[in-house]
Structure 1
């Protein structure tokens, strides 16, 4: 089987995971992931097809990290000052960032010398969602000598995950749509005066 045929087969298995043969294996793995650390460096991507599609290469300078994020909405400490009950709002709060973006940021915090290239979903259970994050060492010779990925070594791409420049960041900022119909979110929500200060 050719490599493209192999990736296609893996992709089809992940498309209908609950009906596929690998479902029991993934379920068993997630039990182990749940009891392990929240951020783990991996030797190989769990979903090789997705990793390759998002730019991963099996060479020095690239690593894959599995990041675990708590599911559901967020809450904050109860406000002790006077408020009307409806303004208390300390639980059932909707996050302004997606869980995927939070997973990327946590992986970047763990590996400060690396830049986030992209990430993809690998599973969820009742408590957590799991993502694998592709990280690139911006100062590695393999990276800045490779014309396809050397752009990430340029200074304007430093800390790109914290500025919403990854794919997940673009989606959260409302920039996935074209120019038409997204005038209120371009160039940013803050610059349009739509962000509550």
Structure 2
């Protein structure tokens, strides 16, 4: 960022954003996370393409200790304190294959497929990206509900309640709600609530009320 402080009245106009700021060339004072965000918007730049290649090599070798994108991690709730941990998980790209012994299947021909099966849930929910030729890599923010730092924090200790056990298995996380179709609201989104199966069952069940 270049600042010309000779003329105080035009100080703000002289700031030039080198990262392609969305403010139309007019420079404003921004925080550090804003510049990190602008860097990640241009993933096809030479700098980011080189970093992605280097990091994909590191992902195969090293564990995940801290977030690569601290700005996005903090937007999603991460805090650099005890009780929070970052995990990096990989999921094989492409369709899934049915684990049947020796390829022996039973039932109707319609249900006998083994390869080219498409998983119904999105991959971010399966592991909840980076990717190489074989895997997709995701980072997961986890919290230790038994840690005192989490239990004593009034902003996050709701997760210690037993009713929130295994939220990821019941589609209650952000990625889970996305694949369930619960991001939208209004017209036609009522078909996704409380779930697609519950809506289908409600619309295809004949309810005969008993008259007294």
Range class of TM-score, shorter chain: 0.7 to 0.9
1:131 aligned partner? 138
The count of corresponding residues between Structure 1 and Structure 2 is 170
Equivalent residue number for residue 53 of structure 2: 27
1:100 alignment counterpart = 124
Q: How far apart are 1:174 and its partner, in Å?
A: 1.1
After TM superposition, give the deviation of residue 182 of structure 1 in Å. 2.0
Change (3 A) 1:88 1:43: closer
Deviations 1:85-111 (A, max 9, x none): x5532221111111101112xxxxxxx
C-alpha root-mean-square deviation of aligned residues, in Å? 2.1
**Higher RCO (C-alpha under 8 Å, 6+ residues apart):** 1
Determine which of 168, 183, 192 is the counterpart of 1:185.
192
**8 Å CA contact 1:13, 1:20 repeated in 2:** no
Equivalent position of 1:149 in the other structure: 156
Give the 3 Å change call, closer, same or farther, for CA 29–181 of structure 1 in structure 2: same
1:43 aligns with 2:65: yes
**Alignment counterpart, residue 66 of structure 1, candidates 67, 74, 88:** 88
Q: Which has the higher strand share?
A: 1
User: 2:6 matched to which residue of 1?
Assistant: none
2:199 aligned with 1:175: no
Which of 49-58 and 9-18 deviates more? Answer: 9-18
Matched, 1:14 2:14: no
The C-alpha deviation readout for 1:25-72, integer Å capped at 9, x for no partner, is 2211202323x37xx3x3211111110100000000001111111111
Asked if 1:5 is matched to 2:31, the reply is: yes
Structure 1 residue matching 2:79: 3-state secondary structure? coil
1:18 aligned counterpart, secondary structure: coil
Deviations 1:64-87 (A, max 9, x none): 111111111112134534644x55
User: Of the two, which has the highest radius of gyration?
Assistant: 2
Q: Provide the residue aligned with 2:23 in structure 1.
A: none
Show structure 1 runs of 5+ residues with no match. Answer: 105-120
TM-score by length of 1: 0.77
